[in-house]
């Protein structure tokens, strides 16, 4: 059963019963998934050609992971202490919605997270007060789509699952019923 089927057949009735929603449209749902990768440190001391090579590699790998081309974030102002110039690329992000979001979450929950070394579950503190989940992955090569020998430079990825929940409890229950593996405590 995929995520959409699971949501409509089991999650909606359970959440309506648990939280007393009168209307099906009031039940929280997953709105979008955002992948962020900051790489300002990776290109800080590099020449133009090396920095371009790193940017292309990160763009390619993030595109493979998400199934969609990333958008680069530019520095708004120069900061000499960080060797940062205004207008230089310092990060990349991808926003997934709909079918691509569901496919990515399926892979994340059922393949990537259980495959991680010493994975015992996601801490409940990863869910914020609005019911959104944020996970940090130290190296992107833990995704099965990425071949480590073909990756030019390893980088970290932050994954944010945005829900329409209004409280932490609603968001946690929605994500738990959708299959996100939380720790027991």
pLDDT over 90 percentage in the chain: 19
What are residue 71's DSSP bridge partners? 93
Angstrom distances, CA of residue 55 to CA of 93, 112, 118, 141, 178: 13, 24, 30, 16, 34
Reduced to 3 states (helix: H, G, I; strand: E, B; else coil), residue 87 is: coil
Cα 114 to Cα 46: distance, rounded to the nearest angstrom: 36
Q: What is the pTM of this model?
A: 0.84
Cα 87 to Cα 103: distance, rounded to the nearest angstrom: 33
Q: State the 10-residue block means of pLDDT for the chain, 185 residues long.
A: 87 90 90 88 73 83 89 81 72 91 89 80 87 86 76 84 91 88 77
What is the C-alpha R_g of the chain? Answer: 18
Reduced to 3 states (helix: H, G, I; strand: E, B; else coil), residue 1 is: coil
Cα 161 to Cα 24: distance, rounded to the nearest angstrom: 21
Write down all domains in the chain, each with its CATH number in brackets. 3-178 (3.30.1440.10)
| The Cα angle at residue 97 between residues 91 and 98, in degrees rounded to 5 | 155
Q: For residue 185, what pLDDT is reported?
A: 59
Q: Is 97 exposed, middle or buried (0-12, 13-18, 19+ CB in 10 A)?
A: middle
Q: For residue 160, what pLDDT is reported?
A: 93
Q: For residue 84, what pLDDT is reported?
A: 66
53 Rama sector, left if φ>0, alpha if ψ -120 to 50, beta otherwise: alpha
């Amino acid at each position: 059963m995929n995520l959409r089927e699971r949501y409509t057949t089991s999650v909606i009735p359970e959440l309506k019963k648990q939280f007393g929603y009168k209307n099906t449209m009031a039940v929280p749902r997953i709105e979008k998934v955002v992948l962020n990768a900051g790489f300002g440190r990776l290109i800080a001391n590099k020449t133009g050609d090396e920095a371009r090579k790193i940017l292309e590699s990160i763009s390619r790998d993030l595109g493979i992971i998400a199934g969609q081309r990333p958008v680069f974030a530019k520095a708004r102002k120069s900061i000499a202490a960080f060797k940062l110039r205004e207008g230089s690329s310092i990060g990349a992000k991808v926003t997934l919605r709909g079918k691509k979001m569901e496919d990515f979450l399926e892979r994340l929950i059922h393949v990537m997270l259980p495959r991680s070394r010493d994975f015992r579950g996601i801490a409940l503190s990863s869910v914020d007060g609005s019911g959104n989940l944020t996970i940090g992955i130290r190296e992107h090569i833990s995704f099965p789509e990425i071949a480590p020998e073909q990756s030019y430079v390893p980088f970290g990825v932050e994954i944010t699952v945005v829900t329409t929940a209004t409280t932490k409890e609603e968001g946690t229950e929605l994500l738990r019923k959708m299959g996100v593996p939380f720790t027991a405590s």
